[in-house]
């Protein structure tokens, strides 16, 4: 089955999410093609061409696609995907914005948030914040798939490069206009690729107290996360939100500090390899998924951990 993977990137480097998508799709398609849409993104195309299993990279490079807005990018993908049986993309903000538009134009039902691929037409997807796993059999001639990257390891890269084919198709965007984009100025790893995440909840009580989370994250060489309650309270920016309406992560180590474990938050982190929870309430739901739990005051426990790590 011929598969086209949409590469996610920032015009400079390929997102590791695409490596997980490629690995997921390799179970039903030994080789696949990738499409890189952007502006001045030749380096991204080169990185994509070294993904194991990649047969060809389509490069669509034009200032019109600099921000990869879904309104015209979706129309471009519809033109390219006609000869494929599968179209795959990460179930990220980028993928969730783009795939429904492609599906509407192709009149095809998308299969979203896939956590397992059983056969070429049978997929397992998460529903209701991950509390239900639905097995879907699709009879569509083209299957539109969004992959939960945290459910699949990253595929290997190779020294050999697949051929890169430049496509000169420019579709103007008259429906939306890019205004601005803000990135948090942090030196820590990106949440979606971090090996260690220290996440804080509403129990931290203030933005000033979140420095405990940041200090602990720096000592581990990890990233900082937060619950929606902490974000809504203004303790930290929403780029750090983990959960059903935030980012889905699966680090090797996840510290849940002052997090009760609401179902929406668990949906974004319960696939973490090791979970350590700190909470004053021993009946908190977070302890049901935690590998290790500390019942106590975070304002006593976290400074003590920091002191030990500094020795």
Which DSSP string do the residues of 205-269 spell out, in sequence order?
Answer: -STGGGHHHHHHHHHHT-EEEE-HHHHHTTSS-GGGBBSTTSB----SEEEEES----HHHHHHH
- Whole-model pTM: value is 0.85
Residue closest to 77 by CA, chosen among 56, 101, 96: 101
CATH 3.40.50.620 occupies which residues in the chain?
A: 3-166
Residue 190's pLDDT is what?
A: 84
Q: Strand 274-279's sheet: what is its strand order? A: 223-226, 196-200, 253-257, 274-279, 292-295
CATH 3.40.50.1220 occupies which residues in the chain?
A: 191-310
Average pLDDT for runs of 10 along the chain of length 311? 94 95 94 97 97 97 96 96 96 94 96 95 89 93 95 90 95 91 74 92 96 95 96 93 90 96 92 95 95 96 95 81
Q: Which homologous superfamily does the CATH classification assign to the domain defined by 3-166? A: HUPs (3.40.50.620)
Regarding beta strands 292-295 and 274-279, do their DSSP bridges make them parallel or antiparallel, or are they unpaired?
Answer: parallel
Reading the block at residue 285, the tokens are: 């739901």
- CATH number for the domain formed by residue range(s) 191-310: 3.40.50.1220
Q: Is 68 left (phi over 0), alpha (psi -120 to 50) or beta?
A: left
């Amino acid at each position: 089955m011929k598969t086209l993977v949409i590469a996610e990137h920032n015009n400079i480097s390929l997102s590791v999410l695409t490596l997980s998508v490629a690995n997921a799709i390799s179970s039903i398609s030994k080789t696949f093609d990738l499409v890189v849409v952007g502006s001045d993104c030749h380096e991204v195309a080169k990185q994509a061409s070294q993904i194991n299993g990649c047969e060809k990279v389509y490069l669509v490079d034009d200032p019109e696609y600099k921000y990869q807005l879904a309104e015209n990018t979706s129309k471009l993908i519809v033109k390219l995907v006609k000869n494929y049986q599968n179209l795959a993309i990460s179930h990220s903000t980028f993928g969730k914005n783009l795939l429904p538009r492609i599906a509407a134009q192709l009149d095809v039902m998308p299969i979203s948030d896939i956590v397992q691929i059983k056969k070429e037409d049978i997929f397992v997807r998460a529903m209701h914040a991950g509390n239900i796993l639905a097995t879907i059999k699709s009879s569509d001639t083209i299957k539109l798939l969004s992959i939960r990257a945290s459910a699949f390891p990253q595929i290997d890269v190779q020294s050999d490069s697949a051929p890169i084919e430049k496509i000169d198709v420019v579709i103007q965007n008259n429906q939306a206009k890019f205004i601005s984009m803000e990135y948090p100025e942090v030196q820590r790893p990106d949440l979606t690729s971090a090996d260690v995440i220290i996440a804080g909840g509403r129990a931290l009580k203030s933005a000033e107290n979140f420095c405990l989370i940041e200090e602990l994250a720096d000592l581990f060489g990890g990233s900082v996360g937060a619950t929606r309650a902490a974000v809504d309270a203004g303790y930290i920016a929403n780029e750090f939100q983990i959960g059903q309406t935030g980012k889905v992560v699966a680090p090797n180590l996840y510290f849940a500090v002052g997090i009760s474990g609401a179902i929406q938050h668990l949906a974004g982190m319960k696939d973490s390899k090791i979970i350590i929870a700190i909470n004053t309430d021993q009946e908190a739901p977070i302890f049901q998924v935690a590998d290790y739990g500390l019942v106590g005051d975070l304002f006593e426990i976290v400074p003590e951990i920091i002191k030990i790590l500094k020795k």
